[in-house]
Each structure stands twice: as structure tokens, then as C-alpha cells.
């Protein structure tokens, strides 16, 4: 079994810009990547490929393979799947709430494909037993795409239901989920920078230092 | 075991007003309530109390007990818990993605209290084995409140991780989750009224009829 993590550091997460500067965002995505990798290793997945472009840096101390591609996400992953024969666990780098238990539960499923939906029809994790009989189609309602591709290919599917894995960190209000449910590097980073202000409505993120 | 569903119909879900008129919202919350009740019954919970105020209507055909209170949510629920000795499953009425399997999983946990977090620090479901030794504190970061109350009372806690149960239907973009992952009356209602438009970003809700 192998894990594949698509990763982009350069000018990452522009929707977080109301809360974090460009430099902070680039630091932060690397910390989230570290937390994802740490949970994968804790779950016993040691063979980890990080898919990125030549102008994005992956820190040398991470003990992962770096796979470089200049193609778009779908083309790059599909080229990767075509030449692979081990089961592949594809996880996005912006899922710092993932824990080893989630990964163990997903990879122990009997179905051919396990899909973990994100908010708004996204696919946050997909576990593919036989990569030669599957391809990915991210963007748009990729959750529906991935269900349909499985059906076309005669693959059995399990939908794995997790709030923690549905929570990709895209917008300032997502940072509160890291405070509440996170761990590791990313939680330390967010806790150092933000206060959690509670009121009658949902918890809001306020930049530390703002009155 | 009993279920308690806080319910408000009158002028409900004002944040859905960009997508639904007042009358539609009032119809829609009743349909979501029906879906929640139907999942509870399918899970074998037949004793269902719907907590509401005298000016809110609960349809007569629902085969539930109506508990009326003019107090605020916390006071009303805590007064209810005080006089109850059966385990109580408190679920919000705006969780139409709940299925019987979720409920069965939650009520079969061994811990004293099971908390299902919502987005932004909310508590969407809480299962309390011994209501005489617990109280609720909704609003603000109720998830943290409920963890702390359990600790103070010496109750063991399980955090139940579910995207479907984290998804309370508050805003127009939540409606897409009903299209993708819902069922029953609420899905039928939403599918009749909205198109799912897919693009490079997350699936968006557009009012049917808009070009």
C-alpha cells in the first residue's frame, strides 16, 4: 500500500488570506502536510509519495518520495495510477484533523474503493485497491464523479463518513476546527496566532491582537 | 431510552432566506423534522418528545409527544433532563442527513455521554445515559461546554465523528449536501427546487429558474 499526497506550497490557500499572510500560509500548509504524514506513518503507511510541481518545495527531512509533475491534478494523478499496482491512499494535504484511526479504518474496508466526501461535493480522501482499474476526476462535484467512475468500472464503493476528514482547511472559519479538534504542528500554529471568541453564534476566528 | 428534538417552525432558518421564502422555510423545517423522526423510529426509538413553544405547530400525524416550554433552549432542556431517568438522545431537527445506522452506533456506545460535534463548535447530537447527572449548555462553543460538563460530572465521553451529523442545514450552500447525501422528504423538496451546478469550485446552489 502507498499513500499519495497532492501538495502545493507556493501561494497556497489564498482564501485564508484574511487571516494569514502569504508567508504564513506557506508555512502553515507545510505544517498541515507534516501532520498528515505523521498520521499516515502512525497508521503504518511508510511508503508516501508527495505529488507536487518543480517550483514547490517539499522539506528534505520529511522522509517521503517527491513525485514531480507539471500536469494538472487529474492528469498527474491518473498518470501515477496507471503505472502503479499497489493499493493507493490519496489524501489531500489540507486535512490536518486526520488521525491514524481514520486511516486504519479506511484501509481495512473490504470494498474496492473508499471515498471520503468533503463539504460541497469534494473528495478529500480516496482509497483505491486496484489503481489500474480506476481514474480520478477532481474539481466540480468530484464526489459524484468518483461514485460514477466506480460504478462504470464495476467497483464496490464505501462512503466513509467523517466530520474530521470532511474538514479541509480553506477559509478562516475552518481554523476554529483545528483549535477544537486538531493536534500536532497545525494546532500549535493556530493556537499561537488566534483567540477563540465564543458568543451566541458559532465560534469565530479573530486575528490575535485585534481588539 | 427517549429522544428529544428541539424544534422551531415559526420564522425558522432565516439564514436560508436567500434561497427559500418564509413559507418555504417553514415547510422545509417540518420536512427535515419528519426525516429525523423517521430515522429515529427506524433505529427503534419510539418514544420521541418534540420540544417547542406554544406558538409553534407540530403536525398531528407525527406520533410524537409534544413538550411545550416558553423558556430558552437551555432552561427548557435542563428542566426536562431533571425530571427524566431514562437515557436521552437529544438531536436537532435540522439534521436531515441522519440515518438509523448513526443512531444505532451512538446509542450502543459504552460511554456515559456521546457528543456529536457540528461545524464551528456546535453540538448537533448529545446522548446522555444518566440525565440526572448532566445538564446542557448550548450556544457559543457548546461542544467545549459539553466536554467540560462531562468532565466536571465524572462522565466518560465519546466524540462521534460524522460529516453527515455535523451538517446542520443553516445556509444555502448546505442544501447541496442534502442533494448529495440526503434522503426522504427533505431531499425530495430540495431536488424539486434547486439545480446542482458544478464548476471548478465547490458545487453551488442556484435557485431553479435562474439562468
Q: For residue B200, what are the contacts with CB-CB under 8 A and spacing of at least 6?
A: A139, A140
- For B3-13, b/e burial (b = at least 16 CB within 10 A) is bbbbbbbeebb
Question: Using 50, 70 and 90 to split pLDDT, how confident is the model at B198?
Answer: very low
The answer to whether residue B199 scores a pLDDT higher than 70 is no
Q: How far is B198 from chain A (nearest CA, A)?
A: 5
Q: What is the pLDDT of residue A206?
A: 53
Q: Please give the pLDDT value at position A200.
A: 34
Which residues, listed in sequence order, are joined to residue A89 by a DSSP beta bridge?
A3, A127
The length of chain A, given as a count of residues: 211
In this structure, what C-alpha cell is assigned to residue B134? 448532566
In angstroms, the CA A161 to CA B180 distance is 13
Radius of gyration of chain A (CA): 17
Q: Report the distance separating Cα B177 and Cα A98, nearest Å.
A: 21
Evaluate if residue B211 carries a pLDDT over 80.
Answer: no
User: How much is the pLDDT for B23?
Assistant: 94
- Note the ipTM here: 0.91
| Cell 435542563 found at | B78
The predicted pLDDT at position A211 comes to 35
- Closest residue in A to B173 (Cα–Cα): A120
Q: Shortest CA distance to B151 belongs to which of B173, B175, B164, B134? A: B134
Could you give the domains of chain A? 2-167 (3.90.550.10)
pLDDT per position as a tens digit, A23-36: 999 999 999 999 99
Contacts of B202 in chain A (CB under 8 A): 119-122
The per-residue pLDDT for A166 is 98
Q: The C-alpha cell of A5 is what? A: 499526497
Q: Which residues of A touch B121 (CB under 8 A)?
A: 176, 180, 196, 198, 202-203
Q: Do the Cβ atoms of A189 and A147 come closer than 8 Å?
A: no
The alpha carbon of residue B181 and the mean position of all alpha carbons in its chain are separated, in whole angstroms, by 16
Residues of B with CB under 8 A from a CB of A: 102, 117, 119-122, 139-141, 143-144, 161-166, 173, 176-177, 180-181, 196, 198-200, 202-203
pLDDT at residue A205 in the model: 55
Q: Name residues of chain A where pLDDT drops below 50.
A: 198-203, 207-211
pLDDT at B208 over 60: no
> Which grid cell sits at A151?
460504478
Amino acid at each position: 500500500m502507498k499513500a499519495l499526497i497532492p501538495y502545493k506550497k507556493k501561494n497556497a490557500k489564498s482564501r485564508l488570506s484574511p487571516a494569514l499572510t502569504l508567508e504564513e500560509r506557506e508555512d502553515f500548509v507545510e505544517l498541515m502536510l507534516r501532520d498528515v504524514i505523521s498520521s499516515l506513518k502512525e497508521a503504518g503507511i511508510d511508503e508516501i509519495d508527495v505529488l507536487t510541481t518543480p517550483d514547490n518545495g517539499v522539506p528534505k527531512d520529511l522522509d517521503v518520495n517527491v513525485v514531480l509533475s507539471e500536469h494538472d491534478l487529474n492528469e498527474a494523478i491518473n498518470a501515477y495510477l496507471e503505472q502503479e499496482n499497489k493499493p493507493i491512499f490519496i489524501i489531500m494535504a489540507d486535512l490536518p484533523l486526520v488521525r491514524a484511526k481514520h486511516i486504519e479504518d479506511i484501509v481495512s474496508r473490504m470494498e474496492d474503493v473508499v471515498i471520503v466526501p468533503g463539504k460541497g461535493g469534494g473528495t478529500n480522501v480516496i482509497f483505491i485497491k486496484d489503481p489500474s482499474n480506476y481514474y480520478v476526476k477532481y474539481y466540480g462535484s468530484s464526489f459524484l464523479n468518483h461514485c460514477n467512475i466506480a460504478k462504470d468500472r464495476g467497483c464496490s464503493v464505501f462512503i466513509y463518513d467523517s466530520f474530521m476528514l470532511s474538514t479541509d482547511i480553506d477559509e478562516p472559519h475552518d481554523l476554529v476546527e483545528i483549535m477544537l479538534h486538531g493536534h500536532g504542528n497545525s494546532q500549535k500554529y493556530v493556537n499561537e496566532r488566534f483567540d477563540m471568541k465564543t458568543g451566541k453564534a458559532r465560534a469565530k476566528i479573530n486575528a490575535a491582537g485585534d481588539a
